[in-house]
Amino acid sequence: MSTHEHTDPLAQEFVEFSVKAGVLRFGEFKTKAGRLSPYFFNAGLFDDGAKLGRLAEFYARRLLASGLQFDMLFGPAYKGITLAAAVSVELARLGHNKPFAYNRKEAKDHGEGGTLVGAPVRGRVLIIDDVISAGTSVRESITMIEAAGGQPVGVALALDRQEKATENGADVPWSAVQDVTRRFNLSVVSIATLHDLLDYLATTSDAALAAHGDSVAGYRARYGI
């Protein structure tokens, strides 16, 4: 089921940070696919300088450890815009200065026009997003990057939910992340996965958090890939 049988220290650190920042919450949440999920990850809540800076640090550390080669970052509007900017700042701080670009949702009819903003899109382009729920934003990004003359090489995510995707309202035996990997031949690099989240709940000394372990494991048994 898992890509790593042992615990991943960077992922554990990230899950703990996300819980403390209130970005990763437990309870009952309705997903886009209409499932009742026992946890919810909302990257929009990395909403101050300290939290965004730490998030960027996790992305940069994971990307550098992955060995994935890329020339620039692309952030899909809207969440990806702050992610691409923040991760680009952190990579530069670590000695890897990469340009970044993003799209605007509405075409501009004055100035330079067009929907792409930032550095010219060229070379090997890494898309940066928070999660992939349906893969729509990745598909749209690929279209824009290729139209501009760039080559999409991968997607960086904060969390891989590792759950079955839905197509035409029915569960399918692969996840949105697997679909993106297979369909577009892209590498997907995630800071953490559902497996890492379960590891964290199984080892935390916080009894209130540990109590959510069974419901998350149950969700994984039903919808996991």
Instruction: Supply the residues annotated as catalytic.
Output: 108, 110
Specify whether the CB–CB gap between 15 and 192 falls below 8 A: yes
How large is the C-alpha radius of gyration of the chain? 18
3-state class (DSSP) for residue 209: helix
Query: In 37-61, which positions are buried (b, 16+ CB within 10 angstroms) versus exposed (e)?
Result: bbbebbbeebeeeebbebbbbbbbb
Element (H, E) at 173: strand 170-175
Listing DSSP states for 90-154 in one string gives HHHHTT----EEEEEEEEESSTT-EEEEES---EEEEEE-S--SSSHHHHHHHHHHHHTTEEEEE
User: What are the residues whose beta carbons fall under 8 Å from the beta carbon of 111, sequence distance 6 or more?
Assistant: none
Question: Which whole-number Å values give the CA distances from 164 to 21, 40, 174, 220, 224, in the listed order?
Answer: 27, 16, 5, 10, 6
Side-chain-side CA neighbours of 156 within 13 Å: the count stands at: 31
